[in-house]
Structure 1
Amino acid sequence: MSTETLFEAPPMAEQERMVEAILFASSEPLDTRALAARLPHGCDVAQALALLQKRYAGRGVHLLRSGDNWAFRTAADLSFLMQKEVVETRKLSRAAIETLAIVAYHQPVTRAEIEEIRGVSVSRGTVDLLMELDWIRLGRRRQTPGRPVTFTTTPGFLAHFGLETARDLPDLKELRAAGLLDNRPPPGTSVEREVDDDHDQDDMFE
């Protein structure tokens, strides 16, 4: 038996089944590198995912891509069936909603830039909350005086809001109309101090 025969990849149908089993059993989304590490040598993960995604299209469960990760998710039009099991009350202050929106649309963005857009200072509690939710994270430092850190959204943010990439976010005009973006203070106006987020609760942000 030749070496080439020993390392021959399984048929594509079998590769598809393997990927399906791995994703079904995983408690979190997986990227192609993680999938390839669990499959036999020579498997075509990308093709297996494409076939699997096509096979699940139109069913009650879909194979969805979020960033570089893949996971099975309930079809969006059937989510109402799961509400009693999965709804979790999580209220965010208006400050947190605005900060999250600014990071999503202006990333990578520094704290100073967030404050300039909002017109008020950003409390540490607001940033800590969004990081605890795994919706924002620290990005690269800016190559400017002081080398301030930047903030970006996370794969968890994309997964929570059902987005494949940040490009799938709602139109900027909608957020500007709501007053969440580009609310820059007039020149010479000092940045106001933000009220404690714990006392400024808004509607649930899903």
Structure 2
Amino acid sequence: MPPPAAPFDRDLDDLPPDLRWREWMRRIEAVLFASASPVAREDLVRVVGRQASVDLLVEDLSADLASRPYEVAQVASGWMLRTRPAYAPVIRASADVADQALDLLDFDLAVLAAIAYQQPITREGLKEVFGKEISRELIGRLSERDLIATGPRAPRRGAPYTFVTTEAFLSAFGFETLRDLPDREQWDDAGLTAR
């Protein structure tokens, strides 16, 4: 049987206000560091005192990390620590991160983008977008990586399943919400759309 957990003092009333605030920031940093996925506000509230503002603590932590190679990012429905994009080549050159790579083909990314922009969308809707049938294997790959999920059934004969993106999609691409997707003009300017 594991030893009983030490009492956990959320409020830290015995500390002066500035040290209390710093300790709450460090607790949030530790939770974000330990988590492989975005941490929701409700989870962070459980590690700080009643009078603490999670938003202000995260803001101060972000400022505190401004000179570091990683940052606090608001992604999906929570926050996470992530390496700043400028350090991506360094990490790829020296660290074993192959299992974290999405390794998607260009066409896979195009299908994923179509789902993101037009969700909920059926297989038939994807066929209309691409002018050809989208394979079950491709849908399976995106689903296995938890980038898409089945959405509501389409309100028409046969009630086919639709596809929608997931929180893992938002996290993988660093979006807080789908409103963060680039608009069509940005895609055109970047040469990423063919039509």
Q: TM-score range by the shorter chain?
A: 0.7 to 0.9
Q: Which runs of 5+ in 2 are unaligned?
A: 1-8, 14-19
> Residue in 1 aligned with 2:56?
47
Q: Write out per-residue CA displacement over residues 7-38 of structure 1, whole angstroms, 9 at most, x where no aligned residue.
A: 85754333222211211222332111222234
TM score, norm. by length of structure 1: 0.71
For the pair 1:150 / 2:162, whether they are aligned, the reply is yes
Aligned CA RMSD, in angstroms, stands at 2.8
SS at 1:92's partner residue?
A: coil
Which aligned pairs between 1:1-206 and structure 2 lie closer than 5 A? 11-84=20-93, 85-88=95-98, 91-173=103-185, 175=187, 178-179=192-193
Distance in 2 separating the partners of 1:154 and 1:57: 29
Q: Are the structure 2 counterparts of residues 7 and 36 from structure 1 closer, same or farther at C-alpha, using a change threshold of 3 Å? A: closer
Partners of 1:91 and 1:7 in 2: how far apart?
A: 42
What is the TM-score normalised by the length of structure 2? Answer: 0.75
Classify 1:97/1:60 alpha carbon distance in 2 versus 1 (closer, same or farther; 3 Å).
closer
- Percent identity between the two aligned chains: 31
**Matched residue, 1:203:** none
Paired residue total: 176
Mapped partners of 1:111, 1:105: distance in 2: 14
Between 1 and 2, higher relative CO (CA 8 Å, sep ≥ 6) is seen in: 1
Query: Which residue is equivalent to 2:5?
Result: none
CA contact (8 A) 2:75 2:175 kept: yes
Say which SS state the counterpart of residue 70 (structure 1) adopts: strand
- Using the alignment, how far apart are the partners of 1:23 and 1:39 within structure 2? 14
Aligned partners of 2:181, 2:77: CA distance in 1, in Å? Answer: 17
Name whichever structure is richer in strand by fraction.
1
1:12 and 1:107 mapped to 2: Cα distance?
Answer: 42
CA distance in 1, matches of 2:170, 2:159: 27
Unaligned runs of 5+ in 1: 1-5, 184-206
